[in-house]
Chains A and B, each alone.
Chain A
Amino acid sequence: MRRTAAALLALTVGCVLADSAVVTLALPEILERLHTTVGQVAWVLIAFNLVLAVVVRPAAWFFKRLDPAILSAVGIAVFAGASALCAVAGSLDVLIVARSVQAVGGAFAVVGCLQLLVEELSERRGTAWWIAAGVFGTAVGPVAGGLLTDAFSWRSIFVVQVPIAVLAVPAALVKRRRKGQELAEDTPKHRVQIGPNIALALLSAALTAALFLFVLLLVDGWRRSPAIAAVTVSVIPLAALFSRPLSRKLRAGPTAETMSGCLLIAGGLAGLALLPSAELGWTIAPQALVGLGLGLTLDPLTLQAMDGRMPHFLHGSWTIAARHAGVVLGLAILTPVFTADLQNAQPPAKDAITALVLDAPLTPEDKISIAGGLSDQLKEENGRVPDLDPAFAKLHVSAIEKPATVQLERDLNDQLQRAATHAFRNAFLIGAALALTALLSLIPLRRRGGER
């Protein structure tokens, strides 16, 4: 029973932290269904991360005074209720409000679950479970969200969270304290570890490029389905899982692990910035680097920030605040860069498309028809990378011209993919720079290693 309760609490932590990126693949569908704009729909992602980052540290304050089991159960219940509200939201405003409430409940839930897991298992094992659940949730979030969106709808992402959270409420209450069992006054209060938390924030900002921008590139830039995108980005969590046996085999130590991880994330993001084509195969190696880096950094850095530090909930809350502030920082830095670059990519893309249509081995009438269809499509997509299929579907060409038309459509799609990929380049490179900055922030840690 205790194991089941611990597993449910860990699963809840995974759910809450997966929520920071779980809607990424669903954003295009939400945008369409709720009739909104790209700028507004981004708040579905930003609201959760921002509120979680802001609320989680003050939430820890309540754990000093109140029973963690009660607070956790209330937090999980609020999270479940807000998830249900997200699932039935009929407008973007309601969805954003529900996401904010979800984050408030989630903040109490993750901090409380840490304390309960430590009390249930042991300090070391409870912390390890909590960290592992968080890393797993972060890495798997976009994959799960994409698969659910493709199989059912964006609403299903939130529906599946409800039963997990509902089951976790009694699991949290199992550890309810008896009267007089409050946190001891003489519990040591350790100083917050600045270095690992800064590194966590910077890495989370960098990982936003991989977990958010890369997904956008796949779905909006390359026009892959959410399911294909979900399967593609599953390379990241798989590589993250592989990082543990690798580091165990090399026994490099936490400093070498975290530094290597930062380097791998930076290298992986640089790889995503320098893709030679829009073939999914080319994304595997850069994603594997990011995944390995994620596995080598988030886990040890969170442990460095928390290991042996009391009270657990306080130090845990700092790591969560740092990570989600990092996500918000990443979105704040990267979103304007890639949206501006996407805007700037339109004229060269239009020029390339025009050149291909003008030089296509088709009759002038067909060229004019295609140009008209493409123009309508560009207007309809309103700044997004257009889907050319409808323009070609309406075209009636002779059997002799069919191969040239098919070739033209392929070439035009290639130009659009080139333009979209190029538009994301600067954002990925900035992500790489953030990961390298995280590496720099770790250097003083090594010098002061003996003090810890």
Chain B
Amino acid sequence: MSAFARLRSAALPALSVVMVGGVLALQLAHGGGDYKPLRPASSCSAQPVSSVSTGIDGLTEQLVLIGVDVAACQLGMTREALTLQLAQPGTHTDAQISALRAGLLSAVDTMKADGKLPRASQLTREAVDVSNLSSFRKAAIRAIPDALIDKTLTTDDVLRRTINDLDLRTLLANLSNRQQLTAQVDAAVMKAVLARIADDLH
């Protein structure tokens, strides 16, 4: 085979190598090797949380997001995996419930340390508005000045009482029922507020 013929027969393989190399290099340069689903962040490293909701809804959401992270870390899993487990209908294990409660309590501490908790008067007013208390009791609580409420109650204390009183199994069972879920959280907050006031009166 002449040198020219050899060169000619090598041209096509050489061109093929260049084309394949070019395409693969271009794709890899644009993230072709990394095109895969997002990996969830470790639940044991603190993640920033926020909520577009305000009032009790927003506060609850932030507490839940932080709380689930802490609980997942305690259970050695990702926040996403625990959320999916908790969202499943059926019974939840004692370990899950206890980790979730501990996580929520820890979330109260975190939010308090970050100065993100609302004033007790703000929380109480909103809880009263949505509660099913009698109008007489609502009026009585509304009559208490904000300054007095804030002096008497602390938000973190109310929240801790709420979390400890909450029936988390029922709460998880109500996840798909928006009305029942809200009613349960609001009732628990109101109960905690009233219990705290009652303690002070004694």
Contacts and interface: CB of A to CB of B under 8 A. Distances in A.
B201 interface: no
Contacts of B35: 274-277, 418, 421-422
A352 B31 contact: no
B12 interface: yes
A355 B38 contact: yes
The A interface is mostly helix, strand or loop, or mixed, namely helix
Contacts of A213: none
A419 B81 CA distance: 17
Contacts of A356: 38
Interface string A338-352: 000000010011111
Interface in A319-354: 345, 348-352, 354
Interface in B4-30: 8-13, 15-17, 19-21, 23-24, 26-28, 30
A352 B79 CA distance: 11
Interface in A241-298: 246-247, 250-253, 255-257, 259-261, 263-264, 266-268, 270-271, 274-277, 282, 285-286, 289, 292, 296
A419 B37 contact: yes
A352 B40 contact: yes
A286 B27 CA distance: 10
B165 interface: no
Contacts of A362: 52
Interface string B58-88: 0011001100000000000011110110010
A174 interface: no
Nearest to A362: B52
A371 interface: yes
B13 A355 contact: no
Nearest to B48: A359
B98 interface: no
A101 to B, nearest CB: 41
Contact of B80 (A261, A296, A345, A354): A354
B19 A355 contact: no
Nearest to B33: A274
A375 interface: yes
Contacts of B19: 264, 267, 289, 292
A252 B28 contact: no
B64 to A, nearest CB: 8
A363 interface: yes
B41 to A, nearest CB: 8
Contact of A422 (B37, B60, B80, B178): B37
Given A348-B37, A352-B38, A364-B57, A274 B27 contact: yes
A296 to B, nearest CB: 8
A222 to B, nearest CB: 12
B176 interface: yes
Nearest to A418: B37
A351 B87 CA distance: 13
Nearest to A271: B23
A28 interface: no
A274 B24 contact: yes
Which interface residue of B11, B28, B181 has the most chain A CB atoms within 10 A? B11
A192 to B, nearest CB: 26
Nearest to B36: A422
B118 to A, nearest CB: 17
A186 interface: no
B87 A260 contact: no
A374 to B, nearest CB: 10
Contacts of A255: 9
A63 to B, nearest CB: 36
Contacts of B20: 263-264, 266-268, 270-271, 289
A231 interface: no
B164 to A, nearest CB: 22
A260 B20 CA distance: 10
Nearest to A349: B37
B51 interface: yes
A195 interface: no
A348 B30 CA distance: 22
Contact of A276 (B32, B65, B84): B32
B39 interface: yes
A263 B18 CA distance: 11
Contacts of B57: 363-365
B53 interface: yes
17 contacts: A250-B11, A252-B13, A255-B9, A257-B12, A267-B19, A271-B20, A271-B23, A274-B32, A289-B23, A348-B39, A355-B79, A363-B52, A364-B51, A365-B57, A368-B181, A401-B52, A419-B36
